[in-house]
Chains A and B, each alone.
Chain A
Amino acid sequence: MLSRPATFAMLAPVLLVLILLLVLPVGYLISFSVLARGTGPQTLGAFTMANYGRLFGDTYYLALFGRTLWLSALTTAIAALAGTCFAWFMWQSGRRWRGPLTILILSPLLISIVVTSYGWVVLLGRNGAINTALEALGLISAPLRLIHNDFGIVVGLVHVVIPFMVLCVLAALERIEAVLGEAAMTLGAQPWRVLWHVILPLAMPGVAAGTTIVFCLSLSAYVTPAVLGGSGPNFVTTMIYDLFITQYDWPFGAAVAAVLLATALAIVILYQRLLARLGAEA
């Protein structure tokens, strides 16, 4: 074991870096949110809570937050279903297939989101592979609108987050002893009842962990709504970008960022609580 001073000496540089690059800058950014907008661009005025008043008082912004939460929830639900199935499949597949399947399911994480977003445009765009194929088959007469709308956002987001869901569920499944399922079968349970009464309840902690992480990631995504979403601010993150880059409204942008950060951290803290409780039970 390390002595206290040695431990502290080893942690000091990291803590310094995190404080200098994360805590103080984020705090500084958020401090803008309680200032009025100044007379010129990028100038700041006096203390005010008006930015938060505007955010929570205007149905436009509330609706945008609502949209973001709704699309993230939809993404999470789809990812939970698909991810749980895939994790279950991985769990049952043999050892030889684990490596290739792992790389396959993690590929959205390993390959730049710019690449995959571009791929969705090529595949789902107005003149993309899907529309071309459907038209050639005579199934549609005009191209379907598959991107630059909410459908595009959800497709892109599910793709980005599915690796995390699979990893969480797989980790939970791997804590289950295969013998449990066999034991249930010797007790006369049919396979689907084994799934329902034994496997799913035990996988639930993983699904719960996965949903929280995935929801948090969806909320914070920028590239997917920017590339695959409709024009104009369509997500909280793209609105923040717009406020800072196009409108130069730093104080209001900072308020929106603060609320986004608070939401993300609240989810993570709830998740940690949940993990602690599940851990205490197990």
Chain B
Amino acid sequence: MTAAAEVVRLESTLDTSHVRARQPPLSLEAVGVSKRFGGLAALDSVDFKLTPGSFHALLGENGAGKSTLVKCIMGFYQADEGKLLVGGQPITVKSPKEAQRHGIGMVYQHFTLVENMSVAENLVLSRADVPRIIDWKKEKRELEEFMDEMPFRISPERLVRKLAAGEKQKLEILKQLYVGSRIVILDEPTSVLTPQEADEVLGMLREMAYQGRVSVAMITHKFREVVAYSDEVTVLRRGKLAGTGKTRDLTPEAMAEMMVGAEVPRASLERRELEGAAKFFELDKLSANDDLGLKVLEEVSLSVAAGEIVGIAGVSGNGQDELVEVLAGQRPTSSGSVRVDGKDYTPTRAQMRQRRVRLLPEAPLKNACVGNMSVAENIGFRCYDEPPNTSLGWLVRGSALRSRARAAIQEYGIKAPGPDAPIAGLSGGNVQRAVLARELTGEVNVLIAANPCFGLDFAAVSEIRTRIMAARNSGSAVLLVSSDLEEIFALSDRILVMSEGRIVYESKASEANMADIGRHMGGAHH
């Protein structure tokens, strides 16, 4: 038993006493926190203050730095600069365990419960000082006392597997209180919940904050939740503090503007207009289910003209991934249809080839490559079964694939030891360049790109965007799905917003209003 465990035990004995409800939790403050990953500033001198007993919303787009900030507080990362104060005293947190010692706990987006164990077992398990032999009678008595003090009660006997999603999330929160956390940080706690469940969970949290049991900091991008439940809000944008204040003083429009910025980023890439391009790529009431069989795409209809880039913006997890999977043939549709040039399209090899549909998925190594096959083979996925890469019609000519790959390596500047090297050994940017070489070679009628630049360095990003724009300028219909608004604006002719599996907003890029887009991304259509 370490000193850490000792302190936790001390605190938890304190917590079960009646003192707790009266004494508000300590304040939490982050001052001038900066964190860099390589050349990227994930956080740039950000201040954040959590008032004791308040419900604080942390708002921002994907990649704005919310998670990084929280991870610095929890000790997953060490901040490069800045300091943390609890109750005005500076602290250093090197691990989540140490954060726990300071009474800071975290609830994650996805559950961390053991499904096949009971509520009581899960709670006892979460303690830092689980005894070798557990006196269940005593534990259960104490658990009953603990539950009696809580605004919400889950029978300790119940099996976690049988709890509804909302109950599980409440149990996660109870778990934090049980181990003695007075400052609870939640990372998008409602993303796996229905709106009703979300209301219950957030209502309970606010109640507990008002009673002075905990301070709550919640990462979210749903304005509805911010407005309805939070007292204060801090908005981050691109790693910087974009604004903070009392929620009641702010309108959703003001928050949206803080989140996405007031100015529309100007596209710098050269655009060539095509005359009279007809609708070329169309989705008609396309629906699909997620892996659990829940509806994740609801009658998505859209069209992309030849020589046009249509950008789909949205907070990730609103059906964009599944939409791309459906178009890539990685997920079946439940209803609706896709048409290319007026003809029905299903993502088979023959049709992809005939209609010239190409894809640039995100995470190319996971979605578009076979890691232990060579660069040449990976570049040849689209054409290994066509002349001149075959002989006798059914033998693959490795030499043809290799010489093709050598040309692609030159043209696309792929840094690889050679065409025979396994592609998994290449850097992310070079894997994406190899996929680009494969997908953009030859005539392309429809290009579907999903976060094509995610996680890549600056040089790769600008090159890949230039190539996508070049495909558009030469007449491809491009559907760009991205959680990066800057990318959407840099490339798109038309912008759609996707939220909860539906297209909820459409605008020409030149007339797009940032605040509107931000609001719709946050679910303002409710």
A and B: bona fide binding partners: no
Interface residues of A (CB under 8 A from B): none
Interface residues of B (CB under 8 A from A): none
